With several copies, the nearest count.
Chain A
Amino acid sequence: MELINIKVIYFAVLRDLAKKKEELLSVDSGTTPQSLYDMLQEKYSFPDQNTYKVAINDNFTEWNEPLDQQDIIVFMPPVTGG
């Protein structure tokens, strides 16, 4: 299977658990935000993402959207600004 290069940026509790702001990953070309999160959840003990949102390249997107080469992915816990 073909591999694609992506970047994941971490914020808030995910940054604390991953102990990094971002990382470059090579993943299978069929990877979605959902399957990526499942993999990272196992790696870093991330919380369940039921209430999370996800963005690809600075746009909110769906969890089953296939990732492309060079995509930047951000997983977002419920926001708490203000």
Chain B
Amino acid sequence: MNHFIISEDEINIVEFNKQFKNPNAGAISSFQGIVRNNNLGKDVLRLEYQSYDRLAEKEGGNIINEALETFDIKSAYCTHRTGTLEIGDIAVVVIVLAGHRDDSFKACRYIIDEVKLRVPIWKKEIYQNGDSGWLKGAG
């Protein structure tokens, strides 16, 4: 099982959670990135995500493996949506199982930070006023 997945399908946080059970895990940290109705002062209608799927899953998998090597965790998973997303939709979810909370928090934060920096996914915002544009990114 690849622990980093690009998917066009809606992320069902319930089903996503159910997959991950481990009787050794005392701590589960998770993060959800949600489509907001505003960004940089503009009213957002919806988003469109494009992904370079093959390299995205490879680089995402690298990030998961780095987290497993760096932190004392049992397992980690990340799924990122592509396609058209509406306000309130989950764009990305990270879940980390660990024995204790400190490493679960640190690994979860590491994964989402690195995903946003390194994984080739791009976001276009479609605004209420009809405009749209690809975000510029940190570069």
Are A and B bound to each other? yes
Q: Which residues of A approach B to under 8 Å, CB–CB? A: 9, 11-13, 15-16, 51-53, 55, 58-60, 74, 76-82
Count of interface residues, chain B, beta-carbon cutoff 8 Å: 30
Q: A12-B50, A82-B33 are in contact. Are A77 and B55 (CB under 8 A)?
A: no
What is the predominant secondary structure among interface residues of chain B facing chain A?
mixed
Tell which of B52, B55, B58, B134 touches A80, judged by Cβ atoms closer than 8 Å. Answer: B134
Asked if residues B92 and A80 are in contact (CB atoms below 8 Å), the reply is: no
Q: Does B122 contact A (CB under 8 A)?
A: yes
B contact residues vs A (CB 8 Å cutoff): 33, 49-52, 54-56, 58, 80, 91-92, 101, 112, 115-124, 134-139
Contact of A13 among B58, B121, B134, B138 (CB under 8 A): B134
Q: Is the CB of B120 within 8 A of A79?
A: yes
